[in-house]
Structure 1
Amino acid sequence: MLKHGLFPDAHVLPSVIKACAGLLAVNIGKQVHGFSLASGISLDSFVQSSLVHFYVKCDELVDAHKLFDNMVERDVVSWSALAAGYARKGDRVNARKVFNEVKNLGFQPNTVSWNGMIAGFNQSGCFLDAVLMFQQMHKHGFKSDGTSISSVLPAIGDLGYLSTGTQVHGYVIKNGFAVDKCIVSALIDMYGKCGCALEMSQVLEDMGQVEVGACNALITGLARHGLVDKALRVFKELQGQQMELNVVSWTSVIACCSQHGKDIEALELFREMQSAGVKPNAVTIPCLLPACGNIAALMHGKAAHCFSLRRGISGDVYVGSALIDMYANCGKIQLARCCFDRMPVRNLVCWNAMLGGYAMHGKANEAIEFFLLMQRSGQKPDSVSLTSLLSACSQSGLTEEGHRYFDRMTTDHGIKPRVEHYACVVSLLGRAGKLEEAYSMIEKMPFEPDACVWGALLSSCRVHHNMSLGEVAARKLFELEPMNPGNYILMSNIYASKGRYKEVDKIRDIMRDKGLRKNPGCSWIEVKNKVHMLLAGDKSLPQMAQIMDKLNRLSIEMKKAGYSPNTDYVLQDVEEQEKEHILCGHSEKLAVVFGILNTSPGSPLRVTKNLRICGDCHAVIKFISRFERREIFVRDTNRYHHFKDGDCSCGDYW
């Protein structure tokens, strides 16, 4: 238009400015503002109003405020936009200052004005301000509409103000808003945040006609409180009702399963989702990938990676972080690093994911080098970064280096040590056999040690068979976590290693009285794109006869090579022969042999275990890796073990 010698007037310019606001094109918008000043159109009230809206939308609130103050005719629309802009930015002081100036401007706020403030405060995390603004709205005689109610309910939920939420619910019913889809979803979300599962279901039932948005809110709410079985049941019921489930529905239930230990179900749902013709997005993939990593389902993880490449979302920072984490959890630390190196944009989460991967694999030197690269790249580490670094030093026995990084946390990085950092250093010292030094550090902590700290000490006492300090740690843990069976089992193991079977029986009696049971050893292995779960001592496996036969033949070969089973890891008071039989039933051994029987010779095996690998299994798998000429990756609760040619990456230090 300008090239053709035609100049915009006061009717055209607001449309151009609105386009700039829609594109968040700050520089172009400022040029248009300059054009309006040069041409004299800037004094027009429509142009001025559109410029205020432009600057507010582009988060240039100082300029917006200046323009508003200089407007020829200030109006309620521009004033509302400016006040809401401050609220949306979380600038509570200026938001309230602008809003309270209304009495001097000659006009009154309307419902849109109040709604803008409530929604703005909610979006910026100023939840209490949003609720107070909602209350003031009613106090001044304004009736809430669907926008204000659906904006204030999330804030009420985040604050946990159940009584206020119930009052709003009553208002919704009284004024006939109970059929509004957005309000119903917001009510379910609010009750979910307040931990009211029954009320969530009731709201959905009262709606009469089931709507997908409300169902998504219900599934998310149930997942938030770990009610994964109920969330799955609701989802299956909706499928049975032929409801048009969308990508949010599928992503919510996949995330629910992935976050609460139902990893295989998450993978199955992802396949169903694609079969149903629903395309996963950049939120779905990061929700699925942890499930792949949790059970070392590498092929499923690679398939998700390929899907993200095809959809062009692999460059997304959240997808990239999840891919790094998945490959590290599946034993492919080099692929994790490749994903990191290829990311077009990185944030702190990406750096921490890679650092955590090195720690899990016991690659302390690589972790230290990566930490230094992180600093050279201008990325400031946080407390999570330091936790991973200290953990890496602990896994590799780099006691002095770990202690040095801990001591310099505050001076070098401005991070005050938190309880998790103390837990890492206690583990660092304890694993190195410096148990008294570890205990001394606990006593000098500036705050009360938690279960993680005492658990680190108890685990080290188990490794070094220190009964006296183990009893100290166990007593604290029994107070802090009376219903955690793992603590009782660890102390029981220490007693059993010393032949103190009367004390073992006492602990078992305590566990029985509390209704606690030892978590059964469980291992997962992916074979031919299917994840198989093997339980310790499970005789119901279809191939159990072949597995036991193969184990017996391997045992003969091992004994020829001078190996004898380490029955110290059998803590029952039984005969030696029975102890050897019990060792054969450990889930990681079963998983490795299952993999040997069902994969081609020489192919690598990847096993995940829910408990710490025992010393006998560690020695057996080292032998198998050499005898069968296999690379075997085993991830336990402590770290990754990479077995190759009879050696382990941990150097027998774990």
Structure 2
Amino acid sequence: MPHRNVVTWNCMISGFGRNLMINEARRMFDVMPAKNVVSWTAMLSGYTGCAKLEEARILFDQIPDKLKNHVCWDVMLNGYIKNGRIDEARELFDQCHNRNVGICNRMLNGYVQLGCVEEAYELFLSMPERDLASWTSMLTCFAKAGLMNEAKALFGDIPFEKDAQAWTAMIRGYMQNGMVDEGLELFQTMPHKDIVAWNCMISGFVENGRLKEALDLYRRMPKRNIISSNSILYGFVLEGDIINAQNFFENIMNQRDTASWNTLISGIQTEEALYLFSEMKRREFRPDQTTYITTVSICGSLALHGWGKALHLQTIKTSYVHDVLVSSSLISMYSKCGLINDAATLFRSIDYRDTVTWNTMIVAQAYHGSVGQALEFHSSMIQSGCKPNHVTFLALLTVCAHQGLVKEGQNYFMSMESEWHISPRPEHYACMVDLFGRSGMLYEAYELVEQMPLDAPSYAWETLLNYCKLHGNFELGEIVSQKILKTSPSNAEMNVLLSNIYAAKGLWDESENVRTAMKQQDVKKEVGCSWVELGGSTCKFVYNDRSHPKTEEIYREIENLSVIIKRISTMI
């Protein structure tokens, strides 16, 4: 370029930053002859966009005071907020003495995004000036927390003429809280419905399992956009109707974006999804954070380490490897594929580790039964200043259960509320039952599960029932199974287990009665299946399936293996 000025330099820095090519952006920034506020802001945005917050903060502190305007403060605040570092965001916010309503709204939105209701409301009340966006953010915060009475009152108290965004926030609040009819009623009274409000209603119907009404609204829309179509596509995926989802995607949607591809890929969840990812790239759609998280997770679920490593390389080329959620999904994938050393190597290469990253590594160690490593990672996590959450304790309790560490497990369970103010969920109770069950402490497990809320899911009860069968405690097993079937009469696994318990006690009539009732109620046990990756392709095997083209060879080999196994077992 023969003639360069500050504008062209800034464009280059912004372009590199938007494409996550942060090192190239920094080299341009360092050699440009003169910098203005746009230069500093562009470089700052590049760092925060790549989640390089330490480098961003160093740069922010170097900005000359005469150039450090509200945009600079907003970019740095948003960087902290986007990455869940709300305490550092608040610390920075408090240092900004010349705050305007925009900066206050940014901090308020941060609290809203992270569900910090009390902090948000305290800030809202202390703001010297509030605009309509402030009121809408606080309304959204109440709605997200399920406080619909407070949201409704605030909506009525808004001192300005409500715009479409305020109306839509209230409608979305109703939908998110399952109050679909109230949301529809408010939508019908909305004076000027824009396309965002229509889309809000469609997605609300979809998320509440009312796809038929969503489709009806979609057909009646005066104008549609890609978001409208993506919502319907998601509706099909949510119902597990992949055939109609694919038909809608290929034949009805007149335009698609990365979100469309992501939705369809997430719905398929088999190796076919990875071929769809390849087709997405062939059609020149650019993968984003969600694309990589979804596809990498599929690789982990199916143990497709070849695909997983290829995706890892792509995240390095596109710099998405620096994204906390993408890197965490890669760690999880390596762990599930049995490559725990690769998972640890990637973990050590990450500059900034949040609670999600630490949890992923703790879960990985727990998955592989490395109790010492898992507990050591937990200690390091606390020392680093990261607070544990529900997932952390779920991993720790799992490790304790697998290793029979009853005392340690009890201590972790008790510390959840006493030290970290985290209420145990049904999954944590199930882990504790697993811990007690493995040690034969069935009545201790029963007493613990009895403390759960009545409307809690039955995971813990189901775990206890399995241990009752394992330890031959049929009396307690019958009590537990009856409790489960009161709330979940169509639970196939529990019906089968209860039938087996009766059979083990010699109560053949009772066992047959359970099986008969299952047939009458059309309760069917899900057929088991497994996947095997071989020669770069994946084969799916379903119980008693004879549709494979090499069925006869497969079953013949199984018979041969069975004979060999029996011979070996007689020799041992």
TM tier, smaller: 0.7 to 0.9
The equivalent of 2:227 in structure 1 is: 213
Structure 1 213/353 Cα, relative in aligned 2: closer, same or farther at 3 Å?
same
Secondary structure at the residue paired with 1:379?
coil
Task: Flag structure 1 segments of 5+ consecutive residues without an equivalent.
Answer: 1-14, 35-50, 69-77, 103-112, 565-622, 624-654
Aligned partner of 1:95: which letter?
Answer: F
Q: Deviations over 1:226-277 (max 9, x none)?
A: 31316x624532422473311111112223444xxxx344334323322322
* Aligned mate of 2:205, from 166, 188, 191: 191
Distance 1:249 1:439, change over 3 A: same
Counterpart pick for 1:32 among 49, 53, 66: 66
1:277-316 alignment runs, 5 A limit: 277-316=284-323
What residue number does 2:214 align with? 200
Measure, in 2, the Cα distance between the counterparts of 1:527 and 1:344. Answer: 35
| 3-state SS in 2 of match to 1:228 | coil
Q: Which residue number corresponds to residue 576 of structure 1?
A: none
Higher relative contact order (CA 8 A, sep 6+): 1
Question: What does the per-residue CA deviation read over 1:109-151, in whole Å, with 9 as the maximum and x for residues that have no partner?
Answer: xxxx4245425753795886776555445x76x363x554555
Distance 1:130 1:473, change over 3 A: closer
Are the aligned partners of 1:324 and 1:339 in contact in 2 as well (CA < 8 Å)? yes
Aligned with 1:162 (options 180, 193, 215): 180
C-alpha deviation, 1:469, in angstroms: 1.8
**Structure 1 residue identity aligned to 2:517:** I
Displacement of 1:457 after TM fit? Answer: 1.2
Match of residue 249 from structure 1 = 260
Q: Is the 8 A contact 1:17 1:32 kept in 2?
A: no
Residue 378 (structure 2) aligns with = 371
Determine if contact 2:502/2:510 at 8 Å carries over to the other structure. Answer: yes
Match of 1:553 in 2: 560
1:353 correspondence with 2:360? yes
Q: How does 1:592-607 map to 2 (within 5 A)?
A: none
Judge which range, 346-355 or 288-297, deviates more. 288-297
Kindly report which structure 2 residues correspond to 1:95-494, keeping only aligned pairs within 5 A, or say none: 95-96=124-125, 98=127, 113-115=131-133, 117-119=135-137, 122=140, 134-136=155-157, 142=161, 144=163, 146-150=164-168, 152-171=170-189, 175=192, 177-178=193-194, 180=195, 182-207=196-221, 210-220=224-234, 223=237, 226-229=238-241, 233-241=244-252, 243-258=254-269, 263-407=270-414, 409=416, 415=422, 417-443=424-450, 445=451, 448=454, 451-494=458-501
Shift of 1:415: 4.7
Q: Which secondary structure state, in structure 2, belongs to the residue aligned with residue 32 of structure 1?
A: coil
Question: Structure 1 residues 333 and 308 mapped into 2: Cα distance closer, same or farther (>3 Å)?
Answer: same
**Post-superposition offset of 1:512:** 1.6
Letter matched to residue 206 of structure 1: R
SS in 1 for 2:285: coil
Note if contact 2:233-2:249 (Cα within 8 Å) is conserved in structure 1: no
Q: State the AA in 1 paired with 2:109.
A: R
Taking the aligned partners of 1:170 and 1:563, their CA distance within structure 2 comes to 75
Contact 1:21/1:55 (CA < 8 Å) preserved in 2?
Answer: no
| Secondary structure, aligned partner of 2:241 | helix
Residues 63, 395 of structure 1: alpha-carbon distance in 2 compared, 3 angstrom cutoff: closer
Aligned length: 498
Shift of 1:487: 0.7
Q: 1:132 to 1:354 in 2, by over 3 A?
A: same
Q: 1:168 to 1:338 in 2, by over 3 A?
A: same
Q: Is the 8 A contact 2:299 2:305 kept in 1?
A: yes
Match of 2:5 in 1: none
TM-score (norm 1): 0.66
Q: In 2 relative to 1, CA 150–20 (structure 1 residues): closer, same or farther, beyond 3 Å?
A: farther
Q: Secondary structure at the match of 1:344?
A: coil
Larger radius of gyration: 1
Contact 1:251–1:283 under 8 Å retained in 2:
yes
Amino acid at match of 2:65: Q
Deviation at 1:316, TM superposition (A): 1.3
- Shift of the alpha carbon at 1:478? 0.8
CA drift at 1:405: 3.8
After alignment, is 128-137 or 287-296 more displaced? 128-137
Q: Deviations over 1:69-90 (max 9, x none)?
A: xxxxxxxxx6x64774565355
